[in-house]
Amino acid sequence: MKNIILFGKPGAGKGTQAVFLKESFNLIHISTGDVFRYNIKNQTPLGVMAKAFMDNGDLVPDEVTIQMLEGEVAKHPNAAGFIFDGFPRTISQAEALDAFLSKNNLAISATLALEVDEDILVARLLSRGKDSGRADDQDEEKIRNRFAEYNAKTAPLIDFYSAQGKFHAVDGSRSIEAIAEQLTTIVDQL
């Protein structure tokens, strides 16, 4: 079983590469954002709980997010593996994910980080914002704030997964095909 964490700042191409990896290796793609939206929209007990935190302007506790992810993993008992997209974002979340996977005799196989210069990402996101209408992709200040948040909270995970020998940096500024080829080589060796 291959369980992969896909990292990268907003606009790095995680969604595009997740689709490629999902299809190439028959993996289940778990986007934390999609899981949250599903649970909130369908008013599941976890969704109601998460929405209450969010409505108060609070972060959803890691335990709630992990329970949602556990539910997603449980839906696919015969999966060849999973792509975790958008989680973990902090060391404590990484530890919680490791604990959850371990109790199910699973482990993270690799962390794949799409690395792209922030100025390139700003241009990508502003362009995407014109097409998608996403407000958070139309304001450079908001975009750079998201990068600062990533650098402060998520970047420390590089050391966390490097210490486990599971961190792989990939130049995400190249063509989609070149990135996919490098990712395939990494995943094939797991």
Q: Would you please indicate which residues are annotated as catalytic (active-site) residues? A: 14, 89, 128, 134, 146
Q: Name the 3-class secondary structure at 67.
A: helix
Q: Do 10 and 127 meet the contact criterion of CB atoms below 8 Å apart?
A: no
d(CA 144, CA 56): 24
Q: Angle 36-64-91 (CA atoms, 0-180°, nearest 5)?
A: 100
Pairing of strands 110-115, 2-8: parallel
User: In Å, how far are 9, 31, 47, 67, 77 from 172, measured between CA atoms?
Assistant: 10, 19, 33, 31, 32
Tell me the angle at which helices 14-25 and 176-188 cross, rounded to the nearest 10 degrees.
Answer: 50
